[in-house]
Structures are given as structure tokens and as C-alpha cells.
Structure 1
């Protein structure tokens, strides 16, 4: 005799046949991560906004504050990644909070793009190209320097 499974909409199947498993969204498992990224992002973005208020850039001027914020954030991410991978077994929420949230909110690709576009629109092509290439070069150098400094500091501590 066959018994219909509600999951199979009236299709008769054997009672021993496997029933398809419905997967629930994993929102509950992701909620703490989303929360710490949001909190960290708010803190990082607030710090970036504070830097922009402390060191405003004149219209048509080179966006030194954005460059500085991105350089500092990239150096910190270089240090942070070395510390949490080589020296410290961090809680599972530390990386999303600090790396993705705080540093993701602090550093800014969008402002960098807007600054570059504003310079182009104002006819400052040289400054725009300097911002475009300089930010990428400075950011990469900052990550490398931060990571290298952290590795050296950790190596000196282990001796």
C-alpha cells in the first residue's frame, strides 16, 4: 500500500521512501554576524566622518583626508590580519566586527571615487589621476607595511 506524502502533492509513494528535506534560511546563525558588522560599520563610518570634519578639503583641492583615512585603515587591516591569523585565536565575531565592520566603514572606496570624479568635473585632471593611482598605491603599500611590521613585532616577541 502507498501513502501520499504532503511534501509530494498527492503522488503516491512507499512509506519507506525518503522525504525531501526543506532547508530553512540560516538567518538565525547569521544574525550575530550581521549585527556586529552593522555596529562596527557605524563606528568606522563615524570615525571617517569625524576625520573629514577635522581635516576638510577645499573644493578643487587634493583629497588628503580620504587618502589618509584609507592609508591608516589599510595599515591597520594589515596588522589586524597578521595578529588574528598568527598570534591570537580571536572570537568568531571579532573579524566581522573589526575587519569588515569598523575598518570597512572607516576606509572608503565610495568617497575616493566621488573625490576623483569631482576633481575631473572641476578640470583638475592631474589631481584626479594622482588620486586615482595614488590611493591604490598607498593602500597596497600600507597593507604590506602594516603586515610586515606586525610579523616583525611578533617574531621579536617570540624570541
Structure 2
């Protein structure tokens, strides 16, 4: 258990920072579009991070737990996504459905775009 303590601490601190960032963005851009933007941006950054941490650089063992699980896990908010969809459902089932599907599609495209961008830039001679 002692060997796992640095990982737990990294995830905890990162999660707090990510949740704070999400809260601040949420103040600036109201739901549901703030939630949409947060999730898409977070997914893009997860794609970037995973390529950087696994293919481009030799990352410290706490980088992925801190940034990937902690910061970006705390930043993205798929629980708020579900609440937003539920609230949209009372106004317009079509809008709620579009929001649900659109967020998932945009999030997957964002991860792929982050991966593609970093891999492309990594091949470019500077």
C-alpha cells in the first residue's frame, strides 16, 4: 500500500486542480455548452497527453496519474453532461438527444485529433 501512496496523492492533487479549472470555466460559460466545451477540450488534451507520455517522451511514472487521471479526469465532467442532458430533455427531447450524441462524437473526434496532431508534429523535423 505504501508504494501506491504517491500515485494516490498525484491523482488527488491533480483531481482537485482539474475540478477547480472546470468550475472556473463553468462560471464563464454556462451549461450545457460550457460542459460540452470542457469535455471536448479535456478529451483533446487526453489524446495529446497519452501520445506525449507514451510515445514521444519518457515520462515520470506519476505524469499520467497526475495529469491524465487527476487533472483531466477532474476537468472533464461526464456526470454534469448527464445532468445537462436531463435538463434539456424537459425542454426538447430532440435537443437532448443531439446533445448526448454530439458530445460523445465530438469527444471521440477530439481524442483522435489530439493523437493525430502530436504524432504529426513529432515526425516533423525542426
TM-score band, normalised by shorter chain: over 0.9
Provide the secondary structure at the position in 2 that maps to 1:91: coil
- Give the Å deviation of 1:123: 3.1
Unaligned runs of 5+ in 1: 1-26, 58-62
2:34 to 60, 65, 69: 65
C-alpha RMSD over aligned residues: 1.1
Which structure has the greater CA radius of gyration? 1
Structure (1/2) with the larger helix percentage: 2
- Give TM-score, length-normalised by structure 1: 0.77
Q: Which residue of 2 aligns with 1:107?
A: 76
Distance 1:124 1:31 in 2: 46
Provide the secondary structure at the position in 1 that maps to 2:6: helix
**Which string of whole-angstrom CA distances, capped at 9 and with x for unpartnered residues, describes residues 83-104 of structure 1?**
1111111111111000000000
Structure 1 residue runs of 4 or more that deviate by more than 6 Å after TM superposition: none
Distance 1:87 1:123 in 2: 46
Unaligned runs of 5+ in 2: none
Provide the secondary structure at the position in 2 that maps to 1:99: helix
Bigger relative CO (Cα 8 Å, ≥ 6 apart): 2
Aligned length: 126
